[in-house]
């Protein structure tokens, strides 16, 4: 690769990383940051809980991907979808900023639902465009950059934006997030997107036939099992880390510092390091390695809590868990790109993203039930046991994914 080509590739990577960052910050602020503001203004726990339903559009990415895939042209296909949806999301954030927390709660819910829907929808052409423009070897780096962007987005959305709101009021976070989106429109508009030379636009297929084609790819079925199971168990453990630390007597500000900022930074760095490891040894070999690391992190946290080893050991195991989350998510995002077929990037990516979200949302519910019945140690032990099963699936998938991905990497 020439110096000019390398610089151009890095510009693409940074653009897609920034796009993923500015798209995730509004959703995290609305779902995780805004409830604190709502509580301060007298919203009940039920009101805040129901408000979380605004995040439901993420479950239906597979449906939102269909118009993106079907209404297309030979040029500027995904780019135009990304431009329009990002511009609409920015406009909607400006509209939300003109309201107030004292406005009708149903009206605010509707605006939040629309914001979450547009952010979810825009994510599809953005990542489909990345899959289309980046070579397979670069898609691994894109997966790690995307994972790091999501961790940083969590820090900004659930932390920094709350500080902005406290300092400058209700409007400031929404206007700032809108500006971040608008900054992406010019570089997006300047991107060149074309089909491969001599390639024809494939005819539109029936929806079920399109999804069946995804599962007919070599190793796709076993990969889908890995996709469904690789992240949610470590993710559930991380979700309940904040209540655990609070119950052990740690102050709320220290919990936010450790589990919010500290964990986010560690996860972002682990994402980048994990991507480097995947590029070096290949996705097929990395899958069992990363799943075993996640199992080790869960077992370490279970042991630190069960043996009452002290807060220092518990925090060390928590940061270990953050490294596992970063590494696993970078691997998952990279392989989602690998298993998105040419001419079907949006449909395949949307299907995989929906499957990923479904288990990420449902496993914490089961973990919460386990927590109520057997306490934190029982919950962590259950998550560790489930992760043992995931490790066996990862080992079983190694050969198929190795054959499916290594060929593309060495073309």
* CATH entry, 216-411, from 3.40.47.10, 3.30.2020.30, 1.20.1340.10, 1.20.1250.20: 1.20.1250.20
- Helix axis angle for 3-28 and 105-133, nearest 10°, is 160
Q: What angle (nearest 5°) sits at the alpha carbon of residue 147, between those of residues 145 and 151? A: 115
Q: Quick one: pLDDT at residue 263?
A: 87
pLDDT (tens digit, 9 = 90+) per residue, 369-386? 888 888 889 999 999 999
Exposure string over 8-18, b if 16+ CB within 10 A, otherwise e: ebeebbebbbb
DSSP code of 53?
G
pLDDT of residue 3: 47
| In the predicted structure, residue 225 carries a pLDDT above the cut 80 | yes
Q: How much is the average pLDDT of 61-68?
A: 88
Residue-level pLDDT at 211: 66
pLDDT tier at 405, thresholds 50, 70, 90: low
Domain 9-193 falls in which CATH fold?
A: Growth Hormone; Chain: A; (1.20.1250)
Parse the chain into domains and list their residue ranges: 9-193, 216-411
3-state secondary structure of 206: coil
**pLDDT 10s digits, 134-143:** 887 788 888 8
Q: How many CA within 13 A on the CB side of residue 59?
A: 11
pTM exceeding the 0.85 threshold for the entire prediction: no
**Is the predicted pLDDT of residue 76 greater than 50, yes or no?**
yes
Percent helix, percent strand, percent coil in the chain, to nearest 5: 85, 0, 15
Report pLDDT for 179: 95
Are 16 and 146 in contact by the 8 Å Cβ rule? The answer is yes
* Chain mean position to CA 21: 10
Give the residue-averaged pLDDT of 81-106: 87
- pLDDT value for 4: 46
Sign of CA dihedral 393, 398, 401, 403: negative
Output the pLDDT for position 363: 86
Q: Is the pLDDT of residue 222 over 70?
A: yes
Nearest to 350 by CA among 122, 153, 142: 122
Note whether 301 and 384 are within 8 A (CB).
no
Kindly state the average pLDDT of the residues 109-129: 90
pLDDT of residue 6: 60
At 4-62, the pLDDT tens digits run 456 678 888 899 999 999 999 998 888 777 766 776 677 776 776 677 778 788 888 88
Q: At what angle do helices 263-281 and 136-155 cross, to 10 degrees?
A: 170
Same fold, 9-193 and 216-411: yes
Mean pLDDT of all residues in 320-343:
88
Would the pLDDT of 80 be above 70?
yes
CA atoms lying within 13 Å on the CB side of residue 375 = 6
pLDDT 10s digits, 163-199: 888 888 888 999 999 999 999 998 888 887 765 433 4
SS3 181: helix
Give mean pLDDT, residues 244-271. Answer: 83
């Amino acid at each position: 690769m020439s110096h000019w080509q390398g610089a151009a590739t890095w510009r693409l990577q940074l653009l897609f990383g920034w796009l993923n960052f500015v798209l995730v910050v509004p959703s995290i602020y609305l779902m995780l940051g805004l409830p604190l503001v709502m509580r301060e203004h007298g919203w009940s726990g039920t009101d805040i809980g129901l408000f979380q339903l605004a995040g439901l559009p993420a479950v239906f990415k597979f449906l939102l991907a269909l118009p993106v895939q079907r209404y297309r042209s030979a040029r500027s296909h995904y780019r135009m979808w990304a431009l329009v949806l990002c511009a609409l999301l920015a406009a909607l954030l400006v509209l939300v900023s003109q309201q107030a927390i004292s406005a009708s709660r149903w009206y605010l819910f509707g605006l939040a639902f629309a914001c979450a829907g547009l952010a979810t929808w825009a994510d599809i052409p953005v990542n489909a465009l990345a899959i289309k423009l980046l070579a397979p070897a670069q898609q691994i780096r894109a997966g790690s950059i995307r994972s790091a962007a999501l961790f940083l987005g969590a820090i900004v959305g659930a932390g920094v934006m709350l500080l902005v709101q406290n300092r400058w009021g209700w409007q400031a976070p929404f206007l700032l997030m809108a500006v971040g989106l608008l900054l992406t429109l010019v570089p997006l508009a300047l991107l060149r997107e074309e089909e491969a030379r001599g390639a024809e636009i494939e005819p539109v297929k029936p929806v079920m036939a399109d999804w069946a084609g995804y599962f007919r790819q070599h190793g796709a079925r076993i990969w889908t099992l890995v996709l469904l199971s690789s992240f949610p168990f470590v993710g559930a453990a991380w979700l309940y880390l904040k209540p655990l630390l609070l119950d052990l007597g740690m102050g709320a500000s220290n919990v936010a510092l450790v589990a919010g900022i500290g964990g986010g930074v560690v996860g972002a760095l682990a994402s980048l390091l994990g991507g480097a490891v995947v590029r070096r040894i290949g996705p097929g070999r990395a899958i069992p390695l990363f799943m075993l690391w996640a199992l080790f992190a869960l077992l370490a946290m279970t042991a630190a809590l069960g043996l009452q080893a002290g807060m220092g050991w518990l925090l060390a195991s928590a940061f270990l868990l953050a490294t596992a989350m970063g590494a696993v998510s970078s691997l998952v995002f990279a392989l989602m790109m690998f298993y998105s077929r040419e001419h079907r990037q949006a449909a395949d990516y949307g299907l995989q993203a929906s499957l990923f979200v479904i288990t990420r949302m449902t496993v914490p519910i089961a973990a919460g039930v386990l927590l109520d019945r057997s306490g934190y140690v029982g919950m962590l032990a259950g998550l560790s046991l489930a992760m043992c099963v995931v490790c066996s699936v990862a080992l079983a998938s190694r050969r198929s994914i190795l054959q499916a991905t290594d060929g593309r990497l060495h073309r």
